């Protein structure tokens, strides 16, 4: 069942995200519309301050997620409203529902990748066509194509990753059965999935320029430090700090690396990455941390008891197929690193990314480490 759901859409929801809530909760949808209309103006915060506290405790499933998207967009918009100093207090009208939803989903009350990308898209035309040209956001901050395209590219990549994720599961089974031919087939399927992901990633500049991203997308997806959640008994008025939305909160690349045995050394940079796991949905988090890990190593004396693993020391086809996957992971990281340089690093003095990480040092180090796992 897991393989079937992953093959269809990867870590995207198996049912399309809701565009709106039942009429009983139409005020929440109105909030989402007003965020888009008022963002960047002095009228946003007064509107949110006077918005009623709506009881969302009875929501579940897709309705709960839809409400989460709206409230967490509104929360980030309130804190990072353009042309104003960052807010330090989230009003009760936003704070209470946001924390209620987050607790029900067992996630932090912040606009994470799960809400910003994974559950914030719709088809423009043909259903199940995940080409970025056929995707559009449901909720956004500004009426600008750059933000829509930025999210659409991520959604398309998540969809294409499904084939590779299933290949990893099937390869694990093939390794357990010591089926060399099937293992090779699965590795090439993974490489093909990565190649398609790379193709979509390369399309980012088509409709999301570095200038537009920096000024229209990036500012409002930052996290926040020492912010008070008004009216939330759980926090008892204590300032809270959460990391902002970042692609590092996607489960895809960490899961593929885990399967391939690409393990980065423990340091302050990987500690940041480990913290990103806490911002994933619990089911995605479990997939990443609980799936069996196959470690391919260069020293045949430490390759474990499975004879198929030992075959990597002498089977050229296995080495070639595995190395193809490692190189494509590295290529994906190289493209992403290039975007990080062009879209952010060349424009800022601070080395910190939206997730609060020293991203340039981290990305450079990690992509170089990836190549060190080539074998044979």
Residue 304 within a domain: yes
Residue 130 within a domain: yes
Is it the case that residue 79 has pLDDT exceeding 70?
yes
What are phi and psi for residue 228, nearest 5 degrees?
-90, 130
Average pLDDT over residues 42-67: 98
How far is the first Cα of the chain from the last one, in angstroms, to the nearest whole number?
35
Provide the pairing of β-strand 224-229 with 89-90.
Answer: parallel
Residue 376 within a domain: no
The larger pLDDT score, comparing residue 139 to residue 272, is at 139
Q: What confidence tens digit (pLDDT) does each residue in 164-212 have?
A: 999 999 998 998 888 889 999 999 999 999 999 999 999 999 999 999 9
Residue of 254, 232, 227, 220 whose CA lies nearest to 329 = 254
The larger pLDDT score, comparing residue 28 to residue 357, is at 28
Q: What confidence tens digit (pLDDT) does each residue in 307-326 have?
A: 555 556 567 888 899 999 99
Residue 345 within a domain: yes
Residue 228 within a domain: yes
Is it the case that residue 44 has pLDDT exceeding 90?
yes
The secondary element (H helix, E strand) that includes residue 196 is helix 180-201
Instruction: Give the pLDDT band of residue 69 (cuts 50, 70, 90).
Output: very high
DSSP 119: T
Residue 353 within a domain: yes
Most confident of 28-42, 233-247, 264-278: 28-42
- Nearest-angstrom CA–CA distance, 341 and 185: 36
pLDDT of residue 375: 84
Instruction: Give the pLDDT band of residue 360 (cuts 50, 70, 90).
Output: confident
- What total of structural domains would you count in the chain? 1
Instruction: Give pTM, 2 decimals.
Output: 0.93
What CATH number corresponds to the domain at position 73?
A: 1.20.58.480
- Enumerate helices (H) and strands (E) in the chain, giving the number of each: 15, 5
State percent of the chain over pLDDT 70.
Answer: 89
What are phi and psi for residue 362, nearest 5 degrees?
-65, -50
Instruction: Give the pLDDT band of residue 358 (cuts 50, 70, 90).
Output: low
Residue 342 within a domain: yes
pLDDT of residue 301: 41
The larger pLDDT score, comparing residue 291 to residue 8, is at 8
For the chain, give the mean pLDDT. Answer: 90
> Is there a contact between 142 and 39 (Cβ–Cβ < 8 Å)?
yes
pLDDT of residue 295: 60
Classify residue 304 as left (phi > 0), alpha (psi -120 to 50) or beta: left
**Domain range holding 333?**
2-371
Instruction: Give the pLDDT band of residue 1 (cuts 50, 70, 90).
Output: very low
What are phi and psi for residue 242, nearest 5 degrees?
-135, 145
Residue 139 within a domain: yes
The secondary element (H helix, E strand) that includes residue 28 is helix 26-38
- Nearest-angstrom CA–CA distance, 341 and 237: 38
């Amino acid at each position: 069942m897991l393989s079937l759901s992953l093959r269809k859409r990867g870590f995207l929801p198996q049912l399309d995200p809701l565009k709106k809530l039942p009429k009983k909760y139409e005020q929440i949808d109105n909030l989402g519309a007003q965020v888009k209309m008022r963002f960047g103006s002095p009228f946003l915060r007064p509107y949110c301050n006077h918005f009623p506290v709506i009881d969302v405790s009875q929501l579940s499933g897709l309705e709960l997620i839809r409400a989460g998207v709206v409230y967490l967009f509104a929360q980030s918009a309130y804190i990072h409203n353009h042309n104003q100093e960052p807010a330090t207090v989230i009003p009760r009208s936003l704070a209470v529902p946001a924390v209620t939803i987050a607790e029900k989903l067992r996630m932090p009350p912040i606009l994470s990748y799960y809400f910003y990308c994974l559950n914030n898209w719709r088809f423009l035309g043909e259903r199940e066509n995940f080409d970025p040209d056929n995707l559009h956001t449901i909720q956004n901050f500004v009426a600008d194509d750059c933000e829509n395209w930025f999210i659409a590219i991520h959604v398309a990549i998540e969809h294409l990753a499904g084939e590779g994720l299933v290949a990893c599961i099937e390869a694990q089974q093939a390794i357990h059965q010591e089926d060399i031919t099937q293992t090779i087939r699965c590795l090439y399927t993974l490489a093909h999935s990565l190649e398609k992901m790379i193709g979509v990633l390369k399309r980012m500049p088509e409709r999301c320029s570095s200038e537009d991203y920096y000024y229209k997308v990036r500012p409002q997806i930052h996290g926040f430090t020492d912010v008070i959640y008004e009216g939330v008994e759980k926090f008892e008025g204590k300032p809270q700090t959460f990391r902002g939305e970042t692609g590092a909160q996607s489960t895809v690349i960490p899961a593929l690396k885990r399967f391939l045995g690409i393990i980065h050394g423990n340091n302050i940079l990987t500690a940041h990455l480990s913290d990103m796991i806490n911002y994933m949905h619990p089911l995605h988090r479990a997939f990443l941390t609980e799936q069996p890990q196959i470690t391919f190593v260069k020293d045949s004396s430490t390759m474990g008891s499975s004879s198929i693993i030992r075959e990597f020391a002498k089977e050229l086809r296995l080495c070639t197929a595995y190395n193809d996957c490692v190189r494509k992971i590295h290529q994906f990281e190289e493209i992403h690193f290039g975007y990080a340089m062009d879209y952010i690093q060349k424009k800022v003095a601070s080395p910190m990314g939206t997730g609060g990480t020293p991203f340039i040092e981290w990305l450079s180090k990690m992509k170089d480490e990836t190549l060190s796992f080539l074998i044979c």
